[in-house]
Chain A
Amino acid sequence: MANVTREELPFDVLFVGGGPAGLAGAIHLKTLAQKKGMEIEVGLIEKGDSLGSHSLSGAILDPIALKELIPDYLEKGCPIESDQCRDSFYFLTKNRSFAVPFTPKYMHNENCAVISLSRLTRWLGQIAEGLGINIFPGFAGTRVLFGEGGKSILGVGTGDKGVDKAGKQKSNFEPGVDLTARVTVFGEGSKGSLIREIGEKMRIFSIGMPQIFETAVKEVIELPETNPFLTSEITVLHTFGYPLGMETKGGGFLYKMKDNRISLGLVVGLDYEDPLLEPRQMFLKFKRHPLIGNIISGGKILQTGAKTLSVGGYYTMPMLAVDGALFVGDSASMLNSQRLKGIHTAMKSGMLAAEAVIQAFEKNDFTRKTLGAYEIGVEQSWINKEHYQARNFTQALSQKGILKFMHVGAQYFSNGKGMKDPISIKEDSATLKKLSKNQIEAAKIEEKPEYDGTLFVDKLTGVFLSGTQHVEDQPCHLLVHNTVICETQCYEEFRNPCTRFCPAQVYEIVEEGPDQRRLVLNPSNCLHCKTCEIKDPYKNITWTCPEGGGGPKYSIV
């Protein structure tokens, strides 16, 4: 579709992604500009059909950044589920649980609040709209507009709509537009698809310290009014151990919400080695563990979903400013994995970016020279303080056996330096171990999970409960570069882990005869978690944005 004419729509500043990073940035920018009497036209695009639709988190919010952004956030109706964060921490074995008497200081959440990110995002969106920010939900950024020689960024192009499976224009074809801006702020969250393009062109990511990720499946469950957990003291519960064991990073969380609801999820480090591991199956096992099973008994799933987290932290942060653009939030590795929190740092990074943008307008210079003030801002802020002492944390947890605890322990008493600084890591796509004959034999005896349709549901019902919908007749947004690998080598070596790590049954291998098989894609099921692009052992999958407005319709997760 080369001969499509695209309208250009200029803004002063464009935010890509309506998560906490982008929204806090836009709100802070507009507020500062108003205080200084500056006229700055701000646009924000979000691929979800509305703000909050693609927001999924735990979540325990450290309100530090929110207080700076909107000091009277409580009076303004910020949706808080509970301001009582009483921590409990359990080690799980298959059938038992042990309360850990000592929780490390970074796990303390006294001054935090339980929230639903989807709700928080919607609320931030209303504030942003009230300030005159142009918010465009349902529009995905699909092309980075580079300046001459790919050395600067001029804006972002939105995707075409109304294109059929074969790439032909339908009767309602609507071409994407070129949104240009003096500064574009990228806040696409974990594993952004545009920042990938920028990374390739402008080399903003470190090669030695790759970005690493975790993936999570989560549900909001409604408990019957009579459930004793509702009146118990516990409001925040974290677990480690079963079902992941000690060699796979991750753990479970359970937070008490309003209206007899709880938030329940399991986070799994994507550096896992066993190709047969299935994160969603692990989550179901976690739910059936007696500690959790007792709490949720009689409950009903209201909403479910999945999302990845970028957990590499300090050493994996990219270059934060280039000519014409800034990178904020999870896209820029702002999440602090030691505290399992990224909302506060996402918001703060957006706000620091906004401050640099104001300076750029004051100096009328939008190159890295002025925008680089954002990098210094991050370095001098509390983001850096939190991050620096956690700089080797995830990396330590990726170590095997007893070494893991030695690293973590040493770091605890040395402000994060530990026994080796930095600890090197592998990309998540490189950690799977090839299957042995025995494992393949064992895999044939599949465990049959039981579903009741209410508290335990299969993958497709899960997709239904996430509200996910895409226009069916559109080009497939998952680019599998070489399906021969899937059907031969990947089958032999790993038995197609995509069919397991995808929480939404997007990938299926259909047996077509003796030693004949075919990869079948169900892109309409996609929850936009991006696990596939991260974990595929051959880097054979590229995730791109489907037609804007498609995807989950989260509202309470």
Chain B
Amino acid sequence: MDIVVLVKQVPDTESLIQIAGDGVSIKTDDLKWVINPYDEFAVEEALRIREAQGGTVTILSMGPAKTVEAIRTALAMGADKGIHINDPIAEGSDSLGISKLLAAVLKKIPFDLIIAGMRAVDGDNYQVASAVAEFLGIPQITQVTKQEITGKKIRLNQVVEGGVAVIEADLPVLFTAQRGLNEPRYASLPGIMKAKKKPLEIKTVGDLGVDAGQVGVKNRKVKIAALKLPPTRKSVMMIKGEDPAALAANLVHKLHEEAKVI
């Protein structure tokens, strides 16, 4: 089973997020970068399938030079090799541009299964994985919490509003990982040492034969007009009261009079 996992490097949501002077991007000086948490579920699931059935796990990612850290993390978890699309021409692409580039790589390598995180916690677009599946003309199943492969068939649990849909498809497919799929393993220390020696290919837009006029910041179909920070967190308020009844009464009073939510 040859599995490809799509991975994105994103800012750590706990790090200091500030809007840059241009108003449409964030300051990157003091950010910490991590592998997108949903992609960790994807990597973990790929490793488990490989452990059960044999095969290879390839990590595919697009981004500037530092993206290699996210790929190395996935390799340290146990993936076999990495492919990194790193080209200044591609920087600032929108979801469509990124999907084109990822699909271009996938058209040239064999795969039975593609797994991605269901969303990237930075842009929150939920688009890239789906668009990749479209470009490749393969089935896509989003928000998966369980999978089972028998022969050439895959059965998946997909989260739907208020319940679960069980879906069957023929491989190859692309599915996206939802929280609950698994508990990702840690990158171990020996794993990190081994990852340094694992193969990592770098690709440019030219290598992939994609028209440079379709990617990059200039060719975005979607443009960000403005970014706004969420409202700042208010301080915690402790409700006071002699006994549970008084506490409850005070809480209701505050919710009604101050928060005006009831």
User: Which residues does A use to contact B, with CB under 8 Å?
Assistant: 7, 9, 49-50, 53, 119, 134, 136, 138-139, 158, 161-162, 170-172, 174, 177, 179, 302-303, 451, 453-454, 457-458, 460-461, 464, 467, 469, 553, 555-556
Contacts and interface: CB of A to CB of B under 8 A. Distances in A.
Given A50-B32, A172-B183, A555-B16, A136 B236 contact: no
Interface stretch (B118-126, B137-145, B188-196): B188-196
B236 to A, nearest CB: 6
Given A9-B190, A50-B32, A453-B232, A170 B183 contact: yes
29 contacts: A9-B189, A9-B190, A53-B32, A119-B30, A136-B189, A138-B187, A161-B186, A171-B182, A172-B184, A174-B185, A174-B186, A174-B188, A177-B189, A177-B190, A179-B189, A302-B18, A453-B232, A453-B235, A457-B235, A458-B235, A461-B233, A461-B236, A464-B233, A467-B12, A469-B14, A553-B12, A553-B15, A555-B31, A556-B16
Contacts of A170: 183
Contacts of B16: 302-303, 467, 555-556
B91 to A, nearest CB: 21
A49 B236 contact: no
A174 B186 CA distance: 7
Interface of B is mostly: loop
Nearest to A50: B32
A460 B236 contact: yes
Contacts of A158: 189
A555 B186 contact: no
Contacts of A302: 16, 18
A467 B232 contact: no
A158 to B, nearest CB: 6
Nearest to A468: B14
Interface string B153-191: 000000000000000000000000000001111111110
Interface string B30-48: 1110000000000000000
Scoring B184, B185, B186 by chain A CB atoms within 10 A of each residue's CB, the highest score goes to B186
B234 interface: yes
A138 B233 CA distance: 28
Contacts of A174: 185-186, 188
A451 B232 CA distance: 13
A461 B30 CA distance: 20
B184 A136 contact: no
Nearest to B14: A467
Contacts of A138: 187
Contacts of A134: 193
Interface residues of B, number: 24
Interface string B233-261: 11110000000000000000000000000
A177 B188 contact: yes
Contacts of A49: 32
Nearest to B31: A555
A454 to B, nearest CB: 7
B236 A458 contact: yes
A53 B14 CA distance: 11
Contact of B32 (A461, A464, A553): A553
Interface of B: 12, 14-16, 18, 30-32, 182-190, 192-193, 232-236
A161 B192 CA distance: 15
Which has the most chain A C-beta neighbours within 10 Å: B30, B32, B187, B236?
Answer: B30
Contacts of A454: 232
Given A302-B16, A556-B30, A451 B235 contact: yes
Closest A-B pairs by Cβ, 10 of them: A555-B30, A467-B14, A174-B186, A172-B183, A161-B186, A451-B235, A172-B185, A177-B189, A553-B14, A171-B183
A44 to B, nearest CB: 12
Contacts of A458: 235-236
B185 A555 contact: no
Given A50-B32, A453-B235, A555-B30, A139 B14 contact: no
A103 to B, nearest CB: 32
A162 B192 CA distance: 17
Given A453-B232, A453-B235, A461-B236, 8 more contacts: A9-B190, A53-B32, A136-B189, A177-B188, A453-B234, A457-B235, A461-B233, A556-B16
A158 B189 CA distance: 9
A221 to B, nearest CB: 13
Contacts of B185: 162, 172, 174
A162 B188 CA distance: 11
Nearest to B34: A49
Contacts of B14: 467, 469, 553
Given A49-B32, A461-B235, A469-B14, A136 B192 contact: yes
Contact of B15 (A453, A460, A467): A467
A454 B232 CA distance: 8
B240 to A, nearest CB: 12
Nearest to A116: B30
A556 B12 CA distance: 15
B95 to A, nearest CB: 28
Contacts of B12: 467, 553
A399 B192 CA distance: 51
Contacts of B30: 119, 555-556
Nearest to A49: B32
B70 to A, nearest CB: 13
